[in-house]
Amino acid sequence: MRKIVLATMLLASAIGGASAADGKLVLYTSQPNTDAQQTVDAFMAKNPGIKVEWVRDGTPKILAKLRAEIEAGQPQADVLLIADVVTMEGLKKEGRLLSFPEADVSGIDAALYDKDKTYFSTKLITTGIVYNTKAPFVPSSWEDLTKPEAKGLIAMPSPLTSGAAMIHTVTLTGNLPEGWDYYNALAKNGAQASGGNGDVLKAVSGGDKLFGMIVDYMPIREKAKGAPVEFVFPKEGVSAVTEPVAILSTAKDTEAAKAFVDFLLSKDGQEVAAKMGYIPARADVALPAGYPDRSSIKVLAYDAAAALANDAANKEKFGAVMSQ
């Protein structure tokens, strides 16, 4: 009888374990297609019982799709993996995100995840300075872009069209002593804000501009391919987009969703991010080739909740400053 009871307990345990490891997951992401496929493939290799269906688009379009589904009473996504924490903060405020208090955040700075554990940063995509190797000087500070030698030679993405650029603007104005006067100085020095990070890379690598504000991985990758560009992490510090992940409160398979979040935050998941060429969120995972030591990169403070509340005002302020 004891053997039968023990066998029954083992069988129940096995069934319980299988249910946690099996399931279906619907992921909405703004990752580039190649990155999304690599992320999903790596997760399913570790969790073969979970099938992942994913939809990829820019964050604004992903959000519009999700809102349309919510309005119709049929939200499809279980998990969001998108560009920025401001969007996540807005969804949290609406009660759209599920708290995951037991998430394993080993090796991840508390500043990189929501205090209520509704969303978690998965990597750091910082914004620094790119320069063409023919530039008249090598920049080391944000202040260098206001020098006379850089006049008319600066490209930057527009915060009016790029979420990362808006985060960067809010971060710099909130941390540099000059605040918005720094952007006044950039405008007077002929800095041009237009398009996205790809446009900045094209302008600087092609020599139309010699300096630019840009996300780190783009020039680092292009330099490795032979482009005449270098990337600098300014001494004052950098802003960061952190590609957070969150489980929706309407998720149909919360166990599969939690397994996905745990994978992204695990050492294995973070090594996948590093292999893609990004700075992993975990401090115990090495940075990709082309990056300096992690200790030399200073990430500036950023208040996502305040940025969300002041978004319209910040965009209006930027437009007024840069059009002078």
pLDDT at 13 over 80: no
Contacts with 15 (C-beta within 8 Å, 6 or more apart), sequence order: none
How far is it, in rounded angstroms, from Cα 248 to Cα 254? 9
When pLDDT is averaged across residues 94-104 and rounded to a whole number, the result is 98
Q: What is the pLDDT of residue 108?
A: 96
When pLDDT is averaged across residues 241-247 and rounded to a whole number, the result is 97
Q: Domains in the chain and their CATH numbers? A: 23-124+241-291 (3.40.190.10), 125-239+298-323 (3.40.190.10)
User: What confidence tier does 164 reach under pLDDT thresholds 50, 70, 90?
Assistant: confident
Predicted TM-score (pTM) of this structure: 0.88
Look over the chain and give the mean of its residue pLDDT values, rounded to a whole number: 92
281-290 pLDDT, tens digit per residue, is 999 999 999 9
User: Minimal CA–CA distance to 86: which of 320, 312, 319?
Assistant: 312
Q: What is the pLDDT of residue 20?
A: 46
Q: What is the pLDDT of residue 127?
A: 97
| 217 labelled ligand-binding | yes
193-226 pLDDT, tens digit per residue, is 999 999 999 999 999 999 999 999 999 999 999 9
pLDDT at 2 over 90: no
User: What confidence tier does 7 reach under pLDDT thresholds 50, 70, 90?
Assistant: very low
pLDDT at 22 over 90: no
Q: What is the pLDDT of residue 21?
A: 62
Q: What is the pLDDT of residue 169?
A: 97
How far is it, in rounded angstroms, from Cα 228 to Cα 34? 25
Percentage of the residues of the chain whose pLDDT score is greater than 70: 94
pLDDT at 181 over 80: yes
Contacts with 179 (C-beta within 8 Å, 6 or more apart), sequence order: 173
Burial letters 133-168, b for 16+ CB under 10 A, else e? eebeeebeebebbbbeebeebbbbbbbeebbbbbbb
